Amino acid sequence: MKIVSIHERTVPLESETSNAAISFSTMTASAVVVEIETAKGRFKGLGFSSYGRYGHGGLLNERFIPRLLNAQPEDFIDQAEGNFSMLNFWDVLMQNEKEGGHGERSGAVGVIETAMWDAWAKSEDLPLWALLARDVGHADDGGVAAGETVIYGSGGHYRNDAVDAQDIADEARKCFDDGYAWFKIKVGGVSPVLDNKRIEAAIRVAGASQLIAVDANCSFGNNGLNVYLKQIDEFSLRWIEEPVNPLDYEALTATVKSIQTPVATGENIFAVADVVNLLRYGGLTPGRDTLQMDIVLSYGITEFLRMLSFAESGGWSRRDFIPHAGHQLALHVSSGLGLGGHETASVLDTPFSGVSDDTKIEDGYAYLSDKPGIGIEYKPSLYKYFDGMLN
């Protein structure tokens, strides 16, 4: 296997939404194309950054792309098996990189690794979910089968501080009408009075509080005993997401102990070393709480598999994982490995909204097709960012 070319483009996300912590209006992302040549021909893989961070063009063009292009074809080969190895590919990417520093670097590695997985799946004439089920293995628990996954919708963002209860009700109604399993909204960005009205409106549409989750985006600071947090707890929601700073394990433990509602967290945990600390010291409980590590922001699938392995060794199940962001890669990983589900923005028209056109959503499940790769080509709102890069 030979890498022929790699190209990156930094693009604006063009979103006028915000959460309790940040605005997405000036946010960027990286679109990456990797072309490989194998005995079967040439294949182009597509990768795209995740939501909530910025593009990685600087790191990619300065370090990671040259490192891959300067490698020899044999550097990517597992010498014992004689085949291409994603582990070897990842090791080449991470040459001369010190431990720690899991910030922008992890996202740069993740997006270029995404493109490589897409290219490799295409060279095998398989959708990524099937490649992962074949080479890594699907959850063997009698649950949702490979090629399918539970899917839920997220929304309820703040738009110019004017998203009221009626807006939330309309978004929730569309989410459930479109076949999603449950709906998640933002909290912490307006007054508790208004946020409570938004939550109540969503519950009325859903018909049950367990069909509504909220995302606080760390808006409760380091106070696990926040009064407003207690108010939200009284709704008995599906989960409260990222109530406090993701690396403040003392505050997270205090939060978990102070409320009855399950907690979801992990989207800002970018390496297995941090997952170790989160699960050891964060007070979370397998089978109750949800882990949301963002695969693209966390060095890609290779590192995510290490996270899974550590978590499973401590009593967690793959079904406890529901990765952050409505990313095609996460959709295929959830389906191929047998995770607990997939998140996608169910209302707004963004690159992370919905799923590819070849994916069917019905009764809370996503049914993936057998088209090779991760399906960016079949998602027009995302594929447009690659215009002119595939010639």
Which residues are catalytic, by number? Answer: 186, 324
Which helix (H) or strand (E) segment holds residue 261: the answer is none
Q: Is 177 exposed, middle or buried (0-12, 13-18, 19+ CB in 10 A)?
A: exposed
Cβ pair 225, 253 in contact under 8 A:
no
Spatial distance between the Cα atoms of 11 and 14, rounded to a whole number of angstroms: 9
- The DSSP code sequence of 95-136 is TT--S---SHHHHHHHHHHHHHHHHHHHHTTSBHHHHHHHHT
Coil, strand or helix at 235: coil
What is the CB neighbour count within 10 angstroms for residue 135? 12
Q: Are 377 and 118 in contact (CB under 8 A)?
A: no
Q: Got the DSSP string for 197-230?
A: HHHHHHHHHHSSGGGEEEE-TTTTTT-TT-HHHH
Which residue reads 């890498």 in tokens? 3
Please enumerate in sequence order all residues whose Cβ is within 8 A of that of 212, keeping only pairs 6 or more positions apart, or say none: 172, 182, 183, 184, 185, 199, 202, 203, 206, 235, 237, 238
Structure tokens at 215: 């995302």
d(CA 103, CA 298): 9
Whole-angstrom distance, CA of residue 358 vs CA of residue 19:
30
User: What are 60's two structure tokens?
Assistant: 């990619």
Nearest to 341 by CA among 329, 353, 331: 331
How far apart CA 252 and CA 262 sit, in angstroms, is 12
CA distance 128 to 122: 8
Q: Identify the H or E element spanning 301.
A: helix 301-313
